[in-house]
Amino acid sequence: MENISRIKEKCVGCKSCEQSCPKHCISMLENKEGFWYPSVDEKSCIECKVCLKKCPVENTEFHRNEPHKVWAWRNKNDVDIMRSASGGAADSAAKTILQMGGVVYGAAYDEQLAVSHIEVTDEAEREKLQSSKYVQSDPKDSYAKVKQRLSEGKTVLFTGTPCQIAGLYAFLGGNPENLYTVDLICHGVPSPKFFKKYLEYQNKQTAGRVIYFNFRSKDKRGWGTQYLLKTKTKTKTKTKTKTLSLDRYGKHFMDGDCYRESCY
């Protein structure tokens, strides 16, 4: 049938098709590596092709590859910089939008350390979006929420990987005036399943439960690629830090051998 199922391994997992389908017959399911791919209920599909019209793979005009201006940008707040992976540019953009009464979307950990895009409307929540998460973030229904906020006249900032940003513009079908986006420079994403298994491995190694993880912590050695994790046992909380390239998960990420097929 003429629907999103023809995209196959080119799919970037942005979930635009799932959020766009008027018949709600598209589900994003994990493959054996843990990456999301669309599954279509062919009996319910009416072949309206909306899913294809909203797909960034099918609609390359929504790819934003040509810079209009180039800026050097550094956050001057030392506290915010320490919480960020590098210079805190995305965070200062988020702070500005929130001060304008706008809404911000970005990747954050939940209590189980799964990464997904969340909506932030106040300063207290902004910290959740800071620092890098080297795993594919689940967009969930964030595109639909962005569309709703834009219709309410809100100013919106959305930060994500380039394929997620392209997916958002394809979903919206254009470039709304009150939408700002920040594309992360990305060289590929591991799957949430891979990261979950890695955390289970760390639980066994430390005989505890990982309660905090930061891929680019500055706490011990300043700027660089040192991760920091905290594990909790019945009696105490332990902290561990290590150079990412010497870590099992980090080495696969840095070597680029654990990414989504479309990343290659």
pLDDT tens by residue, 177-199: 999 999 998 999 999 999 999 99
pLDDT at 6: 93
pLDDT for position 68: 81
3-state secondary structure the chain: CCCHHHCHHHCCCCCHHHHHCCCCCEEEEECCCCCEEEEECCCCCCCCCHHHHCCCCCCHHHCCCCCCCCCCCCCCCHHHHHHCCCCCHHHHHHHHHHHCCCEEEEEEECCCCCEEEEEECCHHHHHHHCCCCCCCCECCCHHHHHHHHHHCCCCEEEEECHHHHHHHHHHHCCCCCCEEEEECCCCCCCCHHHHHHHHHHHHHHHCCEEEEEECCCCCCCCCCCEEEEEEECCCCEEEEEEEHHHCHHHHHHHHCCCCCHHHC
Q: In which band, very low, low, confident or very high, does the pLDDT at 72 lie, cut at 50, 70 and 90?
A: confident
The answer to whether the beta carbons of residues 18 and 12 sit under 8 Å apart is no
Cα Rg of the chain (Å, integer): 19
- What are the structural domains of the chain? 4-58 (3.30.70.20), 78-183 (no CATH), 192-263 (no CATH)
Exposed/middle/buried for 230, CB within 10 Å: 0-12, 13-18, 19+?
middle
Sheet containing strand 226-232, strands side by side: 209-214, 226-232, 237-243
Could you read off the pLDDT of 73-95 as tens digits, one per residue? 888 899 888 889 888 899 999 99
Cβ contact 30:193 at 8 Å: yes
Q: What is the pLDDT of residue 260?
A: 97
Amino acid code (one letter) for 106: G
Which one is predicted more confidently, 224 or 39? Answer: 39
262 pLDDT above the threshold of 90 = yes
- Count the residues in the chain: 264
Residue 176 pLDDT level (bands cut at 50, 70, 90):
very high
Rounded average pLDDT over 54-58: 94
What's the pLDDT at 207? 87
Which tokens in the block code for residue 164? 């997620």
